Amino acid sequence: MVKDDCIFCKIANGQIPSATIYETTEFRAFLDVSPANRGHALIIPKQHFDNVFMLDDETAGKIFSVVPAIARAIQEETGCEGMNILQNNGAVAGQTVNHFHIHFVPRTKGDNVSVTWKQGEADKDDSVKLAQAIKNRL
């Protein structure tokens, strides 16, 4: 499925140009137009899925299977010391483009990129109940 008003669907099919680093019939990876760091890239399925909640297992398996190779290629080329691989789902989680994508954010010591959060404290009783409740859904 392709969505008419989706910018990443247009990038996927080449209607909007992108600095592509990897492409198959099903996926495209390209450099982020507003990178957090040099080499910041995204990989998308060419089919439209709003977010991870909509993604099917087969597409998920395939897209995540190419993550290590892309990460290594970016690392080798940029010489980054580390990398954050992350993806956002829903506006509340920072998603701005509603077409599933995975970020590759190269990191170097002293850069100004921040993807951290203040650590909370788990309620032990709730954790036991919550873990079981989630497990029951899987």
| Footprint of ligand AMP (CB under 6 A) | 7, 11, 16, 18, 32-34, 42, 88, 94-97
Closest to ligand AMP by CB, 16 vs 128, is 16
Closest to ligand AMP by CB, 32 vs 111, is 32
Token pair, residue 18, equals: 């992108």
Largest CA-CA distance found in the chain, in angstroms, rounded: 52
- Active site annotation includes 40: no
- Closest distance between Zn ion and the C-beta of residue 97, in Å? 8
Contact present, 77 and 30 (Cβ < 8 Å): no
- Closest distance between ligand AMP and the C-beta of residue 77, in Å? 18
Partnered with residue 95 across adjacent β-strands are none
Q: Percentage helix, strand, coil, to 5, in the chain?
A: 30, 20, 50
Closest to ligand AMP by CB, 94 vs 126, is 94
* Contact residues for 14 (Cβ-Cβ < 8 A; gap 6+): none
- Closest distance between Zn ion and the C-beta of residue 63, in Å? 14
* Binding-site partner at residue 94 among Zn ion, ligand AMP, none, CB < 5 to 8 Å by type: ligand AMP
